[in-house]
Amino acid sequence: MEKMVIEGGYPLNGRVRVNGAKNAALPIMAACLLLKGTSTLKGIPELTDVKTLCKILNELGVDTKRFPDGQLQITVKDERNITAPYDLVRTMRASICVLGPLLGKRGMAKVSIPGGCSIGSRPIDIHLKGIKSLGAKVDMEDGYVIATGKKLKGSDVYLGGPYGSTVLGTCNIMMAAVLAEGRTIIENAACEPEVQDLANFLNKAGANISAIGDNNIIVDGVDELYGVEYEIIPDRIEAGTLMIAGAITGGNIILENDASCYLASVIDKLREAGVDIKVPDADQSTSGLARDGECIVKSDGNIKSVNITTLPYPGMPTDMQAQFTALLSMANGTSVITERVFPHRFMHVAELNRMGANIRNDDAIAIIKGVSSLSGTTVMASDLRASASLIVAGLAAKGITEIRRLYHIDRGYERLEDRLINLGAKIWREKE
């Protein structure tokens, strides 16, 4: 196993390119199960989660071919297998996104039920309710969900849950409905940019999805979908993480392949915290979705306290909560963070406190009393975004921070340390 070692205290300066979005790449790769012919996906990041999904697709009779420039070619060769096995699903909860397309195209899906993880219990009840609304029969057997429905029928599908809608649940229902008979209206759908990207991809492949980005998505079933070329959107969470890394170190960084058009809530709070952020003009956009310009993040390292509540899009992303917790641990004053998407997603708090932060976590709330400095020590990463928050904290801490259980970071950030080194960070990997 490897650990990440950081010598903190160096401001980040320079340019860094934002990679394609993991959470758009995964459902779009799964959607290729619905298509005839070959799809070429551009901007697919080199991540463990992408490799895991490739393995699942390979099990399901799909050829995947990776190119060094970030392209991934996907071709369905054999549609007989319908099982996503436990050994692969257990390593990545997002594997559940093969459920909808397998059911929609092959009439049957057997997918291992993903377990909980360190960010919470993560049930799939709303996904299952959704596919039942389309006429599928759902059984649970030996830890697998088995869904059958030779010809699904469009219907009204309500996806609200105790914490709002569900991102992958919306993706699954959309993918199950594109080849169904008639019209499906997904009510209380997730509006996240990654869900919109999936809908745009499916439309390019021949689907008929409208009201994309709305709470009520309309899917009119079509007979067939075909392979296409498609470039996925930039990763707003990676961009936000880099912004915070710049801010906490008192740096000056320029983000290329900018994702700021999806980050209004994050930018608003960073500005309130005293970070200077210049986003590209809206009229610089050529892609229609992301703005292709550059985003400039400048900070003098003096961070003001702010209060944050995570919410579904366009609210503050839960995937930025841990990084904000690290930033605000060094703010002037007291900040309150309320987690409204995954109420127990606070495993990073104890580790940040080991670095000298003063954070009290009570249920879904963290109260952060800013301290003037953090100090490096050995900490444990518990999940992807928790690892990111510990790296961000380590970049600003005095002395050496060692982050164990590093494999989490490689699930969601491609070669993060190389890119931070280019910005002037002192960061490297060592064998544990």
Site for ligand EPU (CB under 6 A): which residue of 124, 157, 232, 392?
Answer: 124
Q: Is 384 in the site for ligand EPU (CB under 6 A)?
A: yes
Is 109 a binder of ligand EPU (CB under 6 A)? no
Instruction: Supply 330's token pair.
Output: 């060094």
- Contact between 19 and ligand EPU per CB under 6 A: no
Q: How far apart are CA 388 and CA 188, in angstroms?
A: 30
Site membership for ligand EPU, residue 407 (CB under 6 A): no
Give me 397's structure tokens.
């801490």
Write down the least CB distance from residue 390 to ligand EPU, Å.
Answer: 14
The CA distance from 101 to 107, in Å, is 9
Which burial class, exposed, middle or buried, applies to 151 when counting CB atoms under 10 A from its CB (0-12, 13-18, 19+)? exposed
Among 87, 125, 224, 418, binds ligand EPU (CB under 6 A): 125
Classify 107 in phi/psi space as left (phi over 0), alpha (psi -120 to 50) or beta.
Answer: left
Nearer of residues 145 and 190 to ligand EPU, judged by Cβ: 190
Collapse the DSSP code of 103 into the 3-class scheme (helix H, G, I; strand E, B; otherwise coil) and give the result.
Answer: helix
404: buried, middle or exposed (CB in 10 Å: 19+, 13-18, 0-12)? middle
Binding segment toward ligand EPU, per CB under 6 A, in 118-126, 204-212, 329-337, 358-366:
118-126
95 backbone φψ class: left, alpha, beta (φ>0; ψ -120 to 50): alpha
Q: How many helices (H) and strands (E) does the chain have?
A: 14, 24
Minimum gap (Å) between residue 416 Cβ and ligand EPU: 14
> Rounded distance, CA 199 to CA 211, Å?
10
Question: Is residue 324 at the binding interface for ligand EPU, with CB under 6 A as the rule?
Answer: no
| Residue 166 touches ligand EPU, criterion: CB under 6 A | yes
- Residue 227 one-letter amino acid: G
Q: How many residues bind ligand EPU (CB under 6 A)?
A: 26
Interface map 133-162 toward ligand EPU (x if CB under 6 A): ----------------------------xx
56 binds ligand EPU (CB under 6 A): no
Answer yes or no: are the C-beta atoms of 341 and 164 closer than 8 Å: yes
Does 23 engage in binding with ligand EPU (CB under 6 A)?
yes
Least gap, CB of 226 to ligand EPU (angstroms)? 25
Does 174 interact with ligand EPU (rule: CB under 6 A)?
A: no
Q: Cβ 341 to ligand EPU, closest distance in Å?
A: 5
Work out whether 318 is an interface residue with ligand EPU (CB under 6 A): yes
Q: How far is the CB of 163 from ligand EPU (least distance, A)?
A: 4
CB-based contacts of 423, cutoff 8 Å, min separation 6: 12, 13, 14, 16, 245, 246, 251, 253
**Span from 72-80, 125-133, 371-379, 414-422 in contact with ligand EPU (CB under 6 A):** 125-133
Find the angle CA(353)-CA(357)-CA(359) to the nearest 5 degrees.
75
Q: Tell me whether residue 6 or residue 26 sits nearer to ligand EPU (CB atom).
A: 26
Residues 240-269 that bind ligand EPU (CB under 6 A): none
How many other CB atoms are there within 10 angstroms of residue 139's CB atom?
10
Under the binding rule (CB under 6 A), the answer on residue 239 touching ligand EPU is no
- The residue ranges that bind ligand EPU (CB under 6 A) are 23, 26, 94, 120, 122-127, 161-163, 166-169, 190, 194, 318-319, 341-342, 384-385, 412
